[in-house]
Chains A and B, each alone.
Chain A
């Protein structure tokens, strides 16, 4: 398979590009922020994603979805990134669907996701930095489990209809085995979700589980063997976040290059200065390499390849590095206006920082690459 988008994928990209730019441009995100919106995204927009079929993009056709893969999901996420559109697409249609696919939970949750009624949130992180460790306790209790502990950085966690929670049912926090993944519906007793506004104006909840009781059928997959669905979730989430980063970095780069062609100083366009040309050309190179890494990871994931894990880490780390460069160069080359709230480039910087942190930052994934190579 060649490492570029197929004709079908390019056609899909054209559709999505127009759709997102029309329905959720940066001004949409700015309006939500200015209104101090308490949801974190527009439910109406999520409905129109569903009407286009996008919420079921990764769901099999037999179950009513589009039956497409991570390459196509990435095409959507890149446009979400480029427009900084607040959307539950990554957590719900990509990560949650990847975890639930092929399990008993698919029948219960997929119809709502397809209809654009259900939003999912991912309760994975327990500390300021994403790690492989899971400590939140789930003890056997009656016919089910009782969960106690804390989670953080749970995007949409305060409004989600479905929470996917990674918990420990055996062993120590560092152990690979003994993790169980749960699907918990909204409104469970003993669960509090405190939404916190982040630097990019998105909302992420801090969750407290105070003896939250769930039935045994809330378990996704098998008890103590939750790493398998959790890994599916993380692979999809990381690849998706990388695609969204590509959109954020690409959007910031395009804005910056445009600005270089418009802004005059010393009586000439600043884009004619070699000092800036070389920095822009270097940035272009980093973004191109990042784009290739993301597509490689998506294709390997869709092919079910064993090499996917390492490619996913490379893609997440590379997009974090390239996009961080893009937004920094963006603000610097815009000069003073780049520091103003009225101008959009700063939003790109803030969104990039959040996505760089999500599901493990560049250091976390470089460490994974090193581990996999035996050093």
Chain B
């Protein structure tokens, strides 16, 4: 079983290395990434939004919706941490400990 895993990983690694031959060279001006919208951003970021730092213009303006999603993910992460780890005291002053809660649900001891 372990051997099968190693072989599988080696195959995937080999496949990915073989696939990198089709990637454009780093900094290639003819690559799809450099010929699509990035030309527009480089030429118009300053004109459109008065922002010398193109990265900020792309992050917060052109790709604002993506950034909004990222921000919501950060809040969701904080909320999940609190939901999993929160300890509360009920009316009788008993602390609700997440470890005991997990134990009571039958998946406690590691």
Task: Answer whether A and B are interacting partners.
Answer: no
The interface of chain B, by Cβ under 8 A from chain A, is: none
Residues of A within 8 A of B (CB): none
